[in-house]
């Protein structure tokens, strides 16, 4: 049985990023993926350009579009625009290209990569994990990184991530052609969807449309929403194939490591519960996991707890506010739209959140300061 320092389960944004950063440090790492190739994922690919600083190579080859304007609407009207042209770049990437690109970079650094390897069992034998695939192939490693996305069962089995999982219910559609969507423009509509929002992002020769509901346990009722949204974008109501999926979102601070194991990306419930931003935390968690695993392998730290702490500080504290904002906003979206999105400074702030320049924590602190000032006047 082949033996590695680290085995990573799932070659999405989180797993591939972890593999790259570990391999770069000379760690003997293997990345395993259940699919035989990189597939189209139900992801609209909106990504803060600030993730670039997490890689020593340029991500430009996989950027389909640079977003310069974000349009917010309520039931397709009452429009507010955020201009991103000067300061806060927000990119659109196709996931099948991004995941492949980072995985290839990991291979170039020396990572092993196995496709069609669907992990069925992970068990500890003395000091090593034995990871067995559906087809009975097996590998062993000192450390395992769980990176297999929103449907992962391993966090529950190994006591990782939040006790109560929370899911956003989504429908995604990829449309051929650009319809009426202007170049460099993304649309967010907060009025069409009960407890959520609908969005349209431009991609090369296509448009990615999504509908998501963020509170409650109901499956999103996307048909009615798409019947209104698609014609407004210049497509027929029936255009494109629909894909429904549940997206695991942040639901409280939790432990992301255990003995010789960490969880990253969607499997770790890191996705933003307000705007469904999951790529940045996936990549960020992959980079952080690599730093702390490497330090542990080198004997510089006694365990992997530094990873949980780093993710709490760098991501979780902002998400705690994002979750509170989401719960209030999506319960009273009309008021939220009028008082939140339509505030003169709000579009700029949302653009700063999407571009990674500001967290929900900063927004909350500004609001609290404003309220305190109002009280003292």
Ligand X SMILES: Cc1cc2nc3c(=O)[nH]c(=O)nc-3n(C[C@H](O)[C@H](O)[C@H](O)COP(=O)(O)OP(=O)(O)OC[C@H]3O[C@@H](n4cnc5c(N)ncnc54)[C@H](O)[C@@H]3O)c2cc1C
Using CB under 6 A, list all residues that contact ligand X.
9-15, 32-35, 41-47, 118-119, 147-149, 170, 172, 210, 245, 247, 265-267, 271, 276-280, 282
Provide the minimum distance between the beta carbon of 338 and ligand X in the complex, in angstroms, as a whole number: 25
Rounded Cα–Cα distance for residues 13 and 59 (Å): 13
Nearer to ligand X, 275 or 363 (CB): 275
Considering only CA atoms, which of 115, 258, 229, 131 is closest in space to residue 171? 229
Query: In Å, how far from its chain's centre is CA 207?
Result: 19
Nearer to ligand X, 333 or 356 (CB): 356
Rounded Cα–Cα distance for residues 69 and 50 (Å): 17
Nearest residue to ligand X, by Cβ distance, number only? 278
DSSP-based three-state secondary structure for 132: strand
Provide the minimum distance between the beta carbon of 295 and ligand X in the complex, in angstroms, as a whole number: 22
Contacts of 330 (CB under 8 A, 6+ apart): 195, 196, 213, 214, 215, 336
CB-CB neighbours of 163 under 10 Å: 10
Nearer to ligand X, 78 or 104 (CB): 104
Nearer to ligand X, 135 or 371 (CB): 135
Provide the minimum distance between the beta carbon of 245 and ligand X in the complex, in angstroms, as a whole number: 5
- Walk across the sheet containing 185-189 and list its strands: 77-83, 69-74, 185-189, 196-203, 206-213, 166-176, 242-249
Provide the minimum distance between the beta carbon of 203 and ligand X in the complex, in angstroms, as a whole number: 10
Provide the minimum distance between the beta carbon of 317 and ligand X in the complex, in angstroms, as a whole number: 19
Nearer to ligand X, 100 or 348 (CB): 100
DSSP-based three-state secondary structure for 33: coil
Rounded Cα–Cα distance for residues 329 and 332 (Å): 5
Provide the minimum distance between the beta carbon of 16 and ligand X in the complex, in angstroms, as a whole number: 7
Rounded to 5°, angle at Cα 220 from 266 and 264: 0
Q: Burial letters for 78-87: b for 16+ Cβ neighbours within 10 Å, e otherwise?
A: eebebebeee
Integer angstrom CA distances of residue 141 from 22, 186, 344, 369: 14, 43, 53, 50
Provide the minimum distance between the beta carbon of 372 and ligand X in the complex, in angstroms, as a whole number: 33
Q: 149 with 247: CB under 8 angstroms?
A: no
Nearer to ligand X, 176 or 365 (CB): 176
Nearer to ligand X, 46 or 340 (CB): 46
Provide the minimum distance between the beta carbon of 270 and ligand X in the complex, in angstroms, as a whole number: 7
Nearer to ligand X, 314 or 342 (CB): 314
Provide the minimum distance between the beta carbon of 19 and ligand X in the complex, in angstroms, as a whole number: 11
Nearer to ligand X, 43 or 363 (CB): 43
Q: 194 with 213: CB under 8 angstroms?
A: yes
Rounded Cα–Cα distance for residues 251 and 329 (Å): 16
């Amino acid at each position: 049985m082949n033996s590695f320092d680290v085995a990573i389960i799932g070659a999405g944004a989180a797993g591939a990023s972890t593999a790259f950063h570990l391999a770069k440090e000379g760690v003997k790492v293997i990345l395993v993926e259940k699919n035989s190739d990189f597939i189209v994922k139900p992801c609209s690919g909106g990504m803060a350009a600030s993730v670039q600083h997490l890689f020593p190579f340029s991500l430009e080859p996989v950027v389909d579009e640079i977003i310069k304007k974000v349009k917010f609407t309520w039931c397709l009207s009452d429009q507010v625009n955020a201009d991103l042209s000067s300061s806060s770049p927000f990119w659109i990437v196709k996931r099948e290209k991004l995941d492949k690109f980072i995985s290839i970079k990991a291979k170039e650094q020396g990572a092993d990569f196995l496709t069609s390897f669907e992990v069925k069992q992970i068990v500890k034998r003395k000091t090593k994990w034995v990871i067995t695939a559906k087809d009975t192939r097996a590998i062993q490693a000192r450390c395992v990184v769980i990176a297999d996305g929103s449907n992962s069962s391993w966090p529950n089995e190994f006591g990782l991530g939040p006790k109560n999982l929370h899911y956003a219910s989504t429908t995604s559609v990829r449309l051929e052609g650009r319809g009426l969507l202007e170049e460099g423009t993304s649309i967010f509509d907060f009025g069409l969807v009960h407890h959520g929002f609908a969005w349209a992002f431009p991609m090369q020769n296509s448009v990615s449309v999504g509908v998501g509901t963020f509170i409650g346990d109901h499956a999103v009722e996307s048909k009615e929403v798409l019947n209104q949204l698609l014609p407004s974008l210049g497509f027929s109501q029936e255009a494109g194939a629909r894909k429904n999926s549940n997206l695991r979102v942040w639901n409280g601070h939790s432990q992301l490591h255990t003995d010789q194991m960490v969880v990253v990306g969607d499997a770790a419930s890191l996705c933003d519960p307000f705007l469904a931003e999951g790529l940045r935390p996936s990549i960020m968690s992959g980079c952080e996991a690599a730093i702390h695993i490497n330090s542990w392998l080198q004997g510089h730290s006694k365990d992997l707890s530094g990873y949980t702490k780093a993710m709490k500080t760098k991501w979780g504290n902002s998400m705690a506010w994002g979750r509170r904002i989401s719960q209030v906003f999506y319960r009273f979206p009309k008021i939220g739209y009028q008082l939140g999105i339509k505030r003169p400074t709000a579009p700029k702030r949302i653009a700063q959140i999407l571009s990674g320049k500001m967290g929900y924590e900063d927004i909350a602190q500004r609001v609290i300061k404003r309220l305190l000032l109002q009280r003292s006047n």
